[in-house]
Amino acid sequence: MTAPAAGRVDLVLVHPGGRKLVYQTLADDLTAVEPPLWCRLLAAYCRARGHSVVVIDSEADELDPPAVAARVAAFDPRLVALVVYGHQPSASTQSMPAAGAIARTVKTLSPDCPIILIGGHVAALPERTLREEAVDFAATGEGPVTLDALLQTLKSDRPFDAAEVPGIAHWHAAEDGSQEIRRSFPAPLVEDLDLDLGGDAWDLLPMEKYRAHNWQCFGAMDTRMPYASIYTTLGCPYKCSFCCINAPFGKNGYRFRSPEAVLAEIDLLIGRYGVRTFKIVDEMFVLNERHVTAICEGLIPRNAALGGTLNIWAYARVDTVKPGMLEMLRRAGIRWLALGIESGSKHVRDGAKKALRSEDIVGIVRAIQQAGINVIGNYIFGLPDDDLDSMRETLDLAKELNCEFANFYSAMAYPGSPFYDQAVEKGWDLPDGWSGYSQHSHDCKPLATQKLSAAEVLDFRDRAFIEYFTNPRYLKLVDQRFGGETSRHIRAMTRHTLRRKLLETDGGLQERTVGAV
C-alpha cells in the first residue's frame, strides 16, 4: 500500500480476504495469495477520474477487522468500498463473513464514514446485503461507474441524493419516517476496457506479499513469488447452471481487452516487479482463437528472451481447446490449463448444461499433456442428478485422466447462479451462513441431490480427494514429471486436516484431509 499525499483520502478500497475462515489450515502455505483484481481495477478507474485512492489488502497484510478499521480511520476517507469479488466467481459469497466483520468494525470506529459493498454476491442479492450488513450502499452492478458517481456526489456541495447514483441499493426515508430500500437506475457496463479498466494501480498493492498456488510451481517451489494475476476478458458467454460469474454484469457476455494492452501490462509486471509467474483470471481464456493467438504471438518472443521462464496458467473448456493451438500456448509460457470437466456421467453433465462426451474429454487432456502443458481437472460432486454410482464415475474418470492436479468440489447453489434461483424457488436446504459456501470451511454445506444428503456428498468429496492424491499411479506421475521434492510435498499436503461440522459423529468432530485449491 503506497501512502497518498497528506490530506483527506477520497476512497479506501478494502479487500476483505478471510482466507483462514475459508480454507482453515490450507491457508498457511498451500493456497495462493492473489492480487485483488477488482480492487485494482476500481482503484485505477477512480484515480483516473481525479479521486485520491488507497487500497487495503487485509488478506496479503494479514490484518484483522480492528486493524483494518484503524487504517481506514487514519485516512479519514469520504467513502469506503469493501470489494468482495474474490479470485474466482464462487469466492465472492464465501468472502462475505470477512467483509461483514470489517464493515461492522469500521462503523464502530468511524460511524459517519459511508460504506459501499461491491461484488458478485452483492450484485446478486443487493437488498438482502443491505439488510444484513452494516453498510450504507450495495452495488447492483460491476461497480466502476457507480463508485465514481457516488464519489462525485459525496464531494459536491449539493445535498446528497442517492437516487442520482446509478447502480446502487440504498436506504430511503419514507414519508412516515420509516426506512425502505430503493434501487437506483442501473449503471452501464464499462465498454472500453483498455481505456477505463486497464488497472494500472499496482503501486497501491503490497506486491512483495503475493504468491502462486502450490501446484503452479510443482518442481520449482521457489518461483511462487513474485506473482501477479491479470485479465484479458470479462464475463462468459456460456450458461452453466452452477456458475454465478455474470451476476454483476446482468447478462451473459464477453468483453475483450486488446492484446496490446495485455502485453503492455505483462511487460510492466516483468520489468517493475520481476514477475514470471502469472494467472490469467478470465473465466474462459482459451475461447476466442483470434484473441488468444494475438496474445500468445506477443508472449512467445518475450518468453524466449526470458529463457523460457514464464509460468502462466489459465482456464479453458474441453470443447474450446483446439489441438493446433497447443504448441503455440506452450511456447507462450502457458504451463497449466484448468479444465471444467465437472462429471464423469454424461447424464449428469447434460443436466448441468455441460454437454461433453467422455471420449472428447480424454482425447483433449491427452493432447494438452503431450504438448507439454499440465492439466488441472476440475470436478463437481453432488450435481442434481448425481447418485453414488455417478459420483463414482466422476472419480474413476479423474483417476483415468490422471491430470497433474485436480480440484474436487461439492455442488453449491451460489447466489447469482441459476442453481440458487432454483434452490430458493424449490426450498432446497442451503448453508446456514455465507461461509458455508466455501468448499474447505468448517461449516461447508453442499447441496443435497434427489438421492443423496449433503453430508453424503461432502463425505464422498473428501474421500475422493484422498483416493486421488494417494493413488500410486498419480504419485508416480508426479515423481517422474516434477521430481521427488514435489512428490513429498503432495504426501505432506494429503496430511492436512480440516474440521467438518456436517460430518460430526457421536458428538465428536471428524477431521478430514482435504487438500489445496
pLDDT at residue 88 above 90?
A: no
pLDDT digits (tens, 9 = 90+) for 160-175: 888 899 999 999 888 8
Question: Nearest 10 degrees: CA dihedral of 132, 138, 142, 147?
Answer: -150
The better pLDDT of the pair 488, 514 is held by 488
pLDDT digits (tens, 9 = 90+) for 296-349: 999 999 999 999 999 999 999 888 899 999 999 999 999 999 998 888 777 565
Cα 471 from chain centre? 29
Where in 103-225 does DSSP place strands (E)?
Answer: 115-118, 137-139, 168-173, 179-183
Checking if the pLDDT of 73 tops 60, the result is: yes
* Architecture per CATH, 211-513: Alpha-Beta Horseshoe (3.80)
Architecture of the domain defined by 11-183: 3-Layer(aba) Sandwich (3.40)
Q: All 3 cell numbers of residue 415?
A: 447466489
Instruction: Return phi, psi of residue 342, to 5°.
Output: 70, -65
Which is higher by pLDDT, 211 or 246? 211
Average pLDDT over residues 46-65: 96
- β-bridge pairing 334-342 and 374-381: parallel
User: CA–CA distance from 459 to each of 193, 308, 469, 500 (Å)?
Assistant: 43, 42, 16, 9
Check pLDDT > 60 for residue 5. no
CA gap 166, 155 in Å, rounded? 16
Question: d(Cα 173, Cα 277) in Å, to the nearest integer?
Answer: 51
Sorted by where each begins, the domain ranges of the chain are 11-183, 211-513
Name 511's bridge partners.
499
Residue range 183-206: mean pLDDT, rounded = 95
CA-based end-to-end distance of the chain = 27
Average pLDDT over all residues of the chain: 90
> Cell numbers at residue 311, please?
509460468
Give me the mean pLDDT over the 34-43 stretch.
Answer: 96
H-only helix segments in 33-95 = 37-47, 65-75, 91-94
Q: What letter would DSSP give residue 438? A: S
Q: Tell me the CB-side half-sphere exposure of residue 289, using CA atoms within 13 A.
A: 8
The arithmetic mean of pLDDT across residues 383-388, rounded, is 91
Cβ atoms of residues 449 and 483 within 8 Å: no
